[in-house]
Amino acid sequence: MLNPKSRQLTPHFLWGASTSAYQVEGAWDKDGKGPSVIDLANHTEGVTDFKVCSDHYHRYKEDIKLFAELGLKTYRFSISWTRIYPTGRGDINKAGIAFYDSLINELLNYGIEPFVTLYHFDLPQALAEQGGWGNRETIDAFIEYARTVFNHFGDRVKFWLTINEQNMMILHGNALGTQDTSLADPMKALYQENHHMLLAQAQVVKLCRQVLPTAKIGPAPNIVSIYPASSHPEDILAANTYSAIRNWLYLDMAVFGRYNTIAWNFLECRGWTPTIEKGDMEILANAAPDFIAFNYYTSQTVARSSGEEVEKGHTGDQHLTVGESGFYTASRNTHLKVNEFGWEVDPVGFRTTLREIYDRYQLPLIVTENGLGAFDELVKDEQGNLTVEDNYRIDFLRQHIEQMRLATEEGVEVFGFCPWSAIDLVSTHQGCSKRYGFIYVNRDEFDLKDLARYRKKSFYWYQQVISTEAKEL
Ligand code: BGP
Is 113 an active-site residue?
Answer: no
Mutational test site, ligand 1, from 44, 427, 432, max ligand atoms within 8 Å of CB: 427
State whether the Cα torsion 299-325-181-136 is positive or negative: positive
Mutational test site, ligand 1, from 49, 121, 420, max ligand atoms within 8 Å of CB: 420
Model pLDDT, residue 462: 98
Model pLDDT, residue 419: 98
Q: Compute the distance between CA of residue 85 and CA of residue 24 in angstroms, rounded to an integer.
A: 19
Hey, whose CA ends up nearest to atom 3 of ligand 1?
428
Is 165 an active-site residue?
Answer: yes
Query: b/e string for 341-359 if b means 16 or more Cβ within 10 A?
Result: bebbbbbbbbbbbbbbbbe
Assess contact for 368 and 76: CB atoms under 8 A.
yes
Assess contact for 83 and 145: CB atoms under 8 A.
no
Q: Which residues are CB-contacts of 383 (< 8 A; sequence separation ≥ 6)?
A: none
CA 369 / ligand 1 centre spacing (Å): 8
Assess contact for 289 and 149: CB atoms under 8 A.
no
User: For 26-40, how does the pLDDT look when each residue is reduced to its tens digit (9 = 90+)?
Assistant: 999 999 999 999 998
β strands within 204-327, DSSP E = 216-220, 226-228, 292-295, 300-303
Q: Compute the distance between CA of residue 283 and CA of residue 201 in angstroms, rounded to an integer.
A: 10
Assess contact for 117 and 161: CB atoms under 8 A.
yes
Mutational test site, ligand 1, from 318, 429, 434, max ligand atoms within 8 Å of CB: 318
Beta carbons within 10 angstroms of residue 78's beta carbon = 24
CA 378 / ligand 1 centre spacing (Å): 22
Q: Compute the distance between CA of residue 166 and CA of residue 429 in angstroms, rounded to an integer.
A: 17
Q: Compute the distance between CA of residue 385 and CA of residue 372 in angstroms, rounded to an integer.
A: 23
Atom from ligand 1 closest to the CA of residue 319: 7
Confidence of residue 314 (pLDDT cuts 50, 70, 90): low
Q: Compute the distance between CA of residue 312 and CA of residue 377 in angstroms, rounded to an integer.
A: 34
Measured CA distances, 122 to 6, 220, 359 (Å) = 42, 15, 32
Confidence of residue 178 (pLDDT cuts 50, 70, 90): low
Confidence of residue 8 (pLDDT cuts 50, 70, 90): confident
Q: Which of 417, 455, 416 is nearest to 438 (CA)?
A: 455
Model pLDDT, residue 384: 92
User: For 109-121, how does the pLDDT look when each residue is reduced to its tens digit (9 = 90+)?
Assistant: 999 999 999 999 9
230: which DSSP letter? S
Assess contact for 434 and 342: CB atoms under 8 A.
no
Q: Compute the distance between CA of residue 442 and CA of residue 424 in angstroms, rounded to an integer.
A: 9
User: For 118-175, how does the pLDDT look when each residue is reduced to its tens digit (9 = 90+)?
Assistant: 999 999 999 999 999 999 999 999 999 999 999 999 999 999 999 999 999 999 877 6
DSSP 375-432: ----EE-TTS-EE---HHHHHHHHHHHHHHHHHHHTT--EEEE--B-SS---BTTTBT
317: which DSSP letter? S
Q: Compute the distance between CA of residue 410 and CA of residue 133 in angstroms, rounded to an integer.
A: 40
Q: Is 457 helix (H, G, I), strand (E, B) or coil?
A: helix
Q: Which residues are CB-contacts of 81 (< 8 A; sequence separation ≥ 6)?
A: 36, 88, 118, 119, 122, 123, 124, 145
Atom from ligand 1 closest to the CA of residue 434: 16
Q: Which of 113, 165, 324, 344 is catalytic?
A: 165
Q: Compute the distance between CA of residue 255 and CA of residue 217 in angstroms, rounded to an integer.
A: 12
**For residue 71, pLDDT beyond 60:** yes
Model pLDDT, residue 240: 98
Atom from ligand 1 closest to the CA of residue 341: 16
What is the reported pTM? 0.96
Atom from ligand 1 closest to the CA of residue 371: 6
Q: What's the full length of the chain, in residues?
A: 473
CA 438 / ligand 1 centre spacing (Å): 16
Atom from ligand 1 closest to the CA of residue 426: 14
CA 256 / ligand 1 centre spacing (Å): 27
Assess contact for 256 and 346: CB atoms under 8 A.
no
Beta carbons within 10 angstroms of residue 114's beta carbon = 22
Assess contact for 299 and 224: CB atoms under 8 A.
yes
Which residues' Cβ are closer than 6 Å to ligand 1? 20, 23, 164-165, 168, 222, 295, 318, 369, 373, 420, 427-430, 434
Model pLDDT, residue 65: 98
